[in-house]
Homo-oligomer: A and B are copies of this chain.
């Protein structure tokens, strides 16, 4: 790999310029801003590599698909997204959000960490291989979607229709971040989600609260329904909720034991004094990855302004996100929730299905994992951290695991990258290392035995 790494070093300015060009093109799906231009731009970047490029229409923004053939029979899927979060709040940026300015060794731009830096690094890694060796060691399949930051509403349909096209022996997920110790994180999955809105209804208009003596209150209905879902011991009380939960394996536990987690620092920084279930720092670290959740993301009813207004609200709502772990499924949790409410006398409470994703997990013994870790050892000074799963959620299962594709997440961000926040940035050095890591992954994965 020395020849390829040397080429990458020599052309690092060019690779940084490619990234700056993409970052200077706004692509905010939520604001319908610059999406067509950006899709065309990433298609052209794939074209420059000599890839077979397809602009695949969806119900929303198109998926840009590119395929580059390789020497072996092995293939690798690279999943990224060309959309970014909105740049707001603008007054908190110290750099132009779409300026891609470089200062202090960092590139500043909305989307540079999440995930244009990764998208371009993965193109540059192929470019270096092709320029140096004339041929890739394995087939690359690029899937660039345009709706990740708005919840990937069209991706399930795309996967359903095109999984034969993009099928591969493994996949690299869109992003990754170095931890506070400068160790690159390599992740093997994500939690699923079941996001619902509950609505309770009382009279047909808000009433003077004197009527609370005789007229049913939807706010109380909602409170009573909610407290049947989870008690103060944090145990989720929906019958069957835990039935499909696969406990972490001994290997999962080993991996978690090896992770950095600054428990006391976290509590101090965020201003709370204990973890749920009075967990130790070690236990909290494991809970973060392995516990499913039932979180009230929002609740609203009646008058919540200043002072006192005496009203009996006629409606009440809340939003709940359940984070799911293997082998739970969002469809089953949705059904269990409905059955639970019915059984506990809350058939009147409406459940609106807002979003669902199944959890995803790749086996740590999968050859892809070995390839990614082995490649990291060739590039990074410090050993990578291997996480059995992320604590968050993405459309990993529907794109990959559902079709039998193992997935590993890694990328060019770091703990101070401020993804989704003002002053998003990556280190130029991490970006160049990320290109090398990806180039080394191509080599290492191509060399693995069939799994």
Q: Which residues of A contact B (CB under 8 A)?
A: 151, 191, 193, 195, 202-205, 207-217, 219-220, 223-224, 226-227, 230-232, 270-272, 274-276, 279, 284, 287-289, 291-304, 307-313, 316-317, 319, 321, 323, 345, 354-355, 390-393
Contact = CB atoms under 8 A, between A and B. Distances in A.
A297 B276 contact: no
27 contacts: A195-B310, A204-B270, A205-B270, A209-B323, A210-B391, A210-B393, A212-B294, A212-B323, A213-B276, A213-B391, A214-B276, A214-B279, A214-B288, A215-B272, A215-B276, A220-B232, A227-B227, A296-B301, A297-B303, A297-B308, A297-B310, A297-B311, A297-B313, A298-B309, A298-B313, A299-B299, A308-B355
B209 A321 contact: yes
Contacts of A205: 270
Given A209-B297, A210-B392, A213-B276, 16 more contacts: A151-B307, A205-B270, A209-B321, A210-B323, A210-B390, A212-B294, A212-B321, A214-B284, A214-B287, A298-B301, A298-B313, A299-B301, A300-B304, A308-B319, A308-B321, A308-B354
A211 B276 CA distance: 10
Taking each of A213, A230, A293, which has the highest tally of chain B beta carbons within 10 Å of its own beta carbon? A213
Contacts of A319: 302-304, 308-309
Q: What copy number does this chain have within its complex?
A: 2
Contacts of A294: 212
Given A279-B214, A295-B209, A298-B313, A307 B204 contact: no
A220 B345 CA distance: 21
Contacts of A284: 214
A309 B293 contact: no
Contacts of A214: 275-276, 279, 284, 287-288, 291
